[in-house]
Amino acid sequence: MYSRDEEMDIENWVIRPLRHDDYESICELSKSIWEGNDYLPEVFHQWVDSPGLFLCIEDISTHQVIATGKYSYLEDGSGILEGLRVHENFRGQHLSWQICKELFKKAIEDRKKGRVSQIVNCTHVTNEASLHISTSVGFTIKKKFLILELQQEYNHDKVLNIESWQPSFEEFMQQPYFSSTQGLLAQNFVVQGMNLALFQAMQKTATFAKVNGCPGFYDNHHGWYNVALDPTPASIYDWLLYANKQPGVMDCLAFVLPQPAQIEGLKKLPVIPCTNYEPDLLYLTMTE
Ligand SMILES: CC(C)(COP(=O)(O)OP(=O)(O)OC[C@H]1O[C@@H](n2cnc3c(N)ncnc32)[C@H](O)[C@@H]1OP(=O)(O)O)[C@@H](O)C(=O)NCCC(=O)NCCS
């Protein structure tokens, strides 16, 4: 086993950028991550082609990719560390540190040069390994979102009134959701400040509408998510219901920042939290 600071055994393993022809190996690695629900195979080719740094550790004897990590640029000017994975047979050997060291080096250089405004990271509150790595290198928790999903066993027979909605950027930004999040948007496990560049990117992929009068949208970003932009408990439920009924949409989640009184309202509705109504998506930023 390596310590955090020790150099990797270059006889057996090599650290290198990922290539398109690593796809099969990535699928193999991802099989054991989150009960096979890992989004990495879905974004893999796009990540290989995107700027930043997408690294892996290859086991030289088998040519198998056994660990990955990605450093990406977000529309709000942040650099994000994401996609950290270690094959289940190779965990506990500090391989994730070897990847992180390289990604941090690049991120910190970028920060010094002004290429990124800050370095960020997102994780789930129960992911002890990920949280330990992040806090060890100086990340602190900036915001905690509550993740909600539709209760599957319930008979959701509510009739919804749907209107089309094509907001301008100004109208979009004025929605109450952004005052509750201080301008942040959680796109699944990527959190960033809402701005024009992000809005324009979302216009290519998201579906905007009004559900029972509440404006919002659903989108796919490393999995499906939806946002009720006037996030009362009733509209959060209506949006979860609407988005999850759309063709091709599966397991669409909501990421919200409710007040205590709103949580009492949510508890009366057929929605369920991932972690006991404790905010569970953690948005971390690196403090300098
Ligand atoms: C998170 C993950 C990449 C860690 O990889 P790993 O090879 O097991 O971790 P490492 O051996 O490099 O250990 C990194 C640090 O985390 C600590 N750690 C590892 N597992 C831990 C756990 N379950 N609880 C607490 N700390 C843990 C290690 O002790 C080490 O810290 P140290 O240097 O202070 O001793 C791996 O568990 C994984 O692929 N998980 C599934 C995907 C995932 O959750 N990725 C993160 C997404 S945000």
Domain count, the chain: 2
Look at residue 267 and tell me if it is in a domain: yes
Q: Is 33 in the pocket of ligand 1 (CB under 6 A)?
A: yes
Residue 79 sits in the same domain as residue 198: no
Select from 116, 135, 166 the last residue of a domain: 116
Report pLDDT digits (tens) over 122-147: 999 999 999 999 999 899 999 999 99
**In this structure, what CATH number is given to the domain that contains residue 193?**
3.40.630
Domain boundaries, position 92: 13-116
Report pLDDT digits (tens) over 89-107: 999 989 999 999 999 999 9
Out of 218-222, 258-262, 283-287, which region has the weakest mean confidence (pLDDT)?
A: 258-262
Q: Is 148 in the pocket of ligand 1 (CB under 6 A)?
A: no
Residue 89 sits in the same domain as residue 214: no
Look at residue 135 and tell me if it is in a domain: no
Q: 153 C-alpha vs ligand 1 centroid, how far in Å?
A: 34
Q: Which amino acid, 205?
A: T
Q: Is 105 in the pocket of ligand 1 (CB under 6 A)?
A: no
**pLDDT at res. 1:** 45
Q: Average the pLDDT over 270-280 and give the result.
A: 93
Residue 108 sits in the same domain as residue 157: no
The pTM assigned to this predicted structure is 0.94
Residue 26 sits in the same domain as residue 107: yes
Rg of the chain on CA atoms, in Å: 20
Residue 98 sits in the same domain as residue 216: no
Residue 29 sits in the same domain as residue 109: yes
pLDDT band at 11 (very low <50, low <70, confident <90, very high): confident
Atom of ligand 1 nearest to the CA of 90: 7
Residue 156 sits in the same domain as residue 70: no
Atom of ligand 1 nearest to the CA of 4: 33
